[in-house]
Chains A and B, each alone.
Chain A
Amino acid sequence: MEPITSPADASAVMSARGVVKRFGAVRVLNGVSMDVRAREVVVVVGPSGSGKTTFLRCLNHLERIDEGEILVHGRPVGHRPRPTGSEPPVEERPKVVAHRRRNIGFVFQRFNLFPHLTALDNVAVAPTKVLGTPKAQAREQAQDLLARVGLGHKASSRPSALSGGQQQRVAIARALAMKPELMLFDEPTSALDPEMVGEVIAVMKELVDDGMTMIVVTHEMGFARSAADRLVMFDQGAVLEEGPPERLMTDPAHERTWAFLRRINEGG
């Protein structure tokens, strides 16, 4: 059987081909294909329920895909390599998946900091346990990372003592501690009070300036306009259209893109 789509691009940092994800009878992702090159910043937008968050979660195998292929650095994250690319995905062993997730950073909408650890330990724990970095060295790196997100003075605070914006900045530092080559952001500012959005966006922009490869699901069109190389519009579990942010915002090819972008601009 011939693969319907062209094979995934092994030279891209992330390459997805014909990704299908079902929750029961509902097809949440309906054949999504996307390539992200090194140092590229891609912002994904779309109405709620369009599958953008599910797609992001599939990229580091927090969700299993039912069909298609996702390669990160030329390798599947949660599945055995498939010679033809058309047979159904076979789940890898959890240890292998864990190993392959190491260089993919993920930032959650609700931060998901570890409440029993201080900010410093939240950042230092994964390098210590996963990479085997000596504790003193990991803590030193963690202190530097906290300083980088402007929270050097909060190292000994528990997450419960931090504001939402501060928690999300710690969460970004925690992901960076694993020295990822790809950062995934799942609506990083939607759980924040409006006055805290700016501090998180500022940290993300610094990452962009440092040349980080990023895929960001967000409704922050200001960030998309100033920082994104590409804007991708999701609709009904598929990519409706994509292109430079300025073009999509001013001259979209689809009526639905135009209507959606106008709606979130009015809201924001």
Chain B
Amino acid sequence: MTHATVLAEAGQPAGFDWPFFWHYLFSPSGVFLDGLWRTVYISVIAQLLGVLLGFAVALAQRSRFAPLRWGGRTYVWLIRGTPLLVQLVLVYNGLAAAGVYRFADLQVGGLVFLGVVQAAILTLAVNEAAYMAEIFRAALDAIDPGQAEAAQALGMTPAMTMRVVLLPQAIRIIVPPLGNEFNLMMKSTSLLSVIGLQEMFLTAQSINSATFKTFEIFLVVACYYLALTTVWSFVQRFIERRLADPGQVIAAPSLRERFAGGGPGRSTTGREDSPLVGKEAH
């Protein structure tokens, strides 16, 4: 008996099981879709909370009260200085083991809010807030100090200056790194498998232990993460266009231009006539 036949008789797949792959890619099981759904809503809620908390931390860092500034900096130092994986285990398993706090399932109306989901969203949001705080800080620092001075000179209070003048300008700067953060957030949810949260990754693991189709099932998982981040990148680009200064907007290139590489400014015809080309060359 050859080695290959032994494997075949033991029920091991020889090579890549394409039918299995296509099946899970295009008609995933209900369990898998539940996992996918958890990945999506946990990412969205944790990111939203992370943005709000991050803004609060950034404000604390800019406060005129020293203890608040110190608190904000300590927060960022602690959270950014430790791995998310460690934070997750500490919050969910650690606190319970120490008898400090156990995340229990909550029932709101007809919905059950699992304890592990609460712990996951809380930890992801707290973790995200540290990074968002730095993004807010950088964006607010990037705005010309003359903007805040002009607002103050018009009699605006610091809160009004932030709301009316600084924040609308900061948001435009924040969207690209925020998009990055949300992309990372969706992928970070795979870490939730270690605290036993049935998101997409853990669901795939249980499918794997039942079928041993490791390569196929995790390739399906990779495709779904890629699909999520791809959809998000389109949403992000849409938001960026909406926020752009209408005076400086560049028209969205058409699909044909994207693939053919043509379009305004890059056209190969009429190069001599374009006054821009000569300037760019220098």
Contacts and interface: CB of A to CB of B under 8 A. Distances in A.
A37 interface: no
B245 interface: yes
Interface stretch (A1-9, A64-72, A111-119): A111-119
B147 interface: yes
Nearest to B160: A129
Given A126-B155, A178-B154, A112 B164 contact: no
B153 A101 contact: yes
A130 B155 CA distance: 7
Contacts of B146: 108, 110, 112
B155 A158 contact: no
Interface stretch (A40-48, A91-99, A232-240): A91-99
B144 A98 contact: no
B168 interface: yes
B274 interface: no
B139 to A, nearest CB: 13
A116 B157 CA distance: 19
Contacts of B168: 116
Given A116-B172, A158-B245, A94 B153 contact: no
Interface string A188-203: 0000000000000000
B81 interface: no
B165 interface: yes
Given A60-B153, A160-B245, A161-B247, A129 B164 contact: yes
Interface in A99-144: 99, 101-102, 104-106, 108, 110, 112-116, 125-126, 129-130
B228 interface: no
A174 interface: yes
Contact of B147 (A114, A130, A174): A114
A101 B153 CA distance: 6
A112 B160 contact: no
B87 interface: no
Contacts of A94: 64, 157-158
B156 A108 contact: no
Contacts of A20: none
B156 to A, nearest CB: 6
A98 B157 contact: yes
Contacts of A161: 247
24 contacts: A94-B64, A98-B152, A98-B158, A98-B160, A102-B155, A105-B153, A106-B153, A108-B146, A108-B150, A108-B153, A112-B144, A112-B147, A112-B149, A114-B147, A114-B150, A115-B169, A125-B154, A125-B164, A126-B155, A130-B156, A130-B160, A158-B245, A160-B247, A171-B150
Interface of B: 64, 144, 146-147, 149-158, 160, 164-165, 168-169, 172, 245-248
